[in-house]
A and B are shown apart, each in its own frame.
Chain A
Amino acid sequence: KQEVTQIPAALSVPEGENLVLNCSFTDSAIYNLQWFRQDPGKGLTSLLLIQSSQREQTSGRLNASLDKSSGRSTLYIAASQPGDSATYLCAVETSGSRLTFGEGTQLTVNP
C-alpha cells in the first residue's frame, strides 16, 4: 500500500526566505506526482504536476523535483511571501488513477 509522508508538518519563516518542502513515498511505481495548495476552508489548487518520466517542473517562484527511484520529491519556494501561507499537499498517482495524499505541510510566512 502506497504511503506518502510530508516533512515538516509545519513551517514558519520570515518573508523573503527560500524554503523547501519534502515529500516521500514508499512505492516508486507511480504515474505522476502532484503538489497542491490548500487555503483554510477551501479546496485544493494544483500547483505542479510531474510525470514519472520527468525530473522537475517549474512555475514562477515554485520548482518541484522528483526522484522516483528514491521515492522523494521536493517543492522549492523562492523569495517567500505572506500570500504563500497555506497548507501544501503532495500526492502520488498509482495504478487505477488513484491519488494518495500526504498529510501536508502547514506553511506560515511572516511579514
Chain B
Amino acid sequence: EAGVVQSPRYKIIEKKQPVAFWCNPISGHNTLYWYLQNLGQGPELLIRYENEEAVDDSQLPKDRFSAERLKGVDSTLKIQPAELGDSAVYLCASSLVASNEQFFGPGTRLTVL
C-alpha cells in the first residue's frame, strides 16, 4: 500500500515569491494534516481536514498561508508571499479518522532566499 505522497521534495525560492506544496494521503484516510517542522524541533500543526472541511486552522497564518482539499482527497498548501522565516520542512500526514494513528509523508524542504 502506498504511503503519503508529497511533492516537491525540495523547493528553493526567492522571498516574496509564491510557492505551493501538494499532498496525496493514504487511500481511504479521511483526515489530513499539514505540519511545519523547523530545524531541531518537533512538527507543529498548521491545519487539519476532515474530508474536505478544515476543522482546525487556528495555527495557520492566514495572511499568507492558504490550503485546500478539494473532493476530500489531495490537498495543496500555498504560501504567498514567502518570507525568509518560512524556510522549514512542511509535512503532510493522514489518518483513517481523527484520533487515530497518523502516517506522515517525506515532507517538502523549503528554502527561502
Residue of B nearest to A97 (CB): B98
Asked whether A103 lies within 8 Å of B106 as measured between CB atoms, the reply is no
Say yes or no: A4-B42 contact (C-beta < 8 A), given A34-B102, A97-B31.
yes
Is A22 close to B, CB under 8 A?
Answer: no
CA gap between A96 and B6 in the complex, in Å: 25
Is B48 close to A, CB under 8 A?
Answer: yes
Per-residue interface assignment for chain B, residues 79 to 106, with 1 indicating a CB less than 8 Å from any chain A CB and 0 otherwise: 0000000000001010000110111111
CA gap between A26 and B78 in the complex, in Å: 33
Asked whether B102 lies within 8 Å of A46 as measured between CB atoms, the reply is yes
Per-residue interface assignment for chain A, residues 42 to 53, with 1 indicating a CB less than 8 Å from any chain B CB and 0 otherwise: 111110010000
Asked whether B44 lies within 8 Å of A97 as measured between CB atoms, the reply is no
Is A99 close to B, CB under 8 A?
Answer: yes
Chain B interface size, as a band, is 20 to 34
Is A55 close to B, CB under 8 A?
Answer: no
Contacts of B8 in A (CB 8 A): none
Asked whether A103 lies within 8 Å of B40 as measured between CB atoms, the reply is yes
Is B109 close to A, CB under 8 A?
Answer: yes
Is A76 close to B, CB under 8 A?
Answer: no
Most chain B CB within 10 A, of A44, A98, A99, A101, is at: A44
Contacts of B33 in A (CB 8 A): 99
CA gap between A91 and B91 in the complex, in Å: 15
Residue of A nearest to B43 (CB): A101
CA gap between A94 and B105 in the complex, in Å: 22
Residues of A participating in the B interface, judged by any CB pair closer than 8 Å: 4, 31-32, 34, 36, 41-46, 49, 89, 91, 93, 96-99, 101-104
Please name 20 further chain A to chain B contacts, defined as beta carbons within 8 Å, in addition to the given A97-B48, A99-B45, sorted by A numbering: A4-B42, A32-B99, A34-B102, A42-B106, A43-B104, A43-B107, A44-B43, A44-B93, A46-B101, A49-B101, A89-B42, A96-B48, A96-B56, A97-B31, A97-B98, A97-B99, A99-B102, A101-B41, A101-B42, A104-B40
Question: What are 12 sample pairs from A and B whose C-beta atoms fall under 8 A apart?
Answer: A31-B99, A32-B99, A41-B109, A42-B107, A43-B4, A43-B6, A44-B93, A45-B104, A46-B101, A91-B42, A99-B102, A103-B42
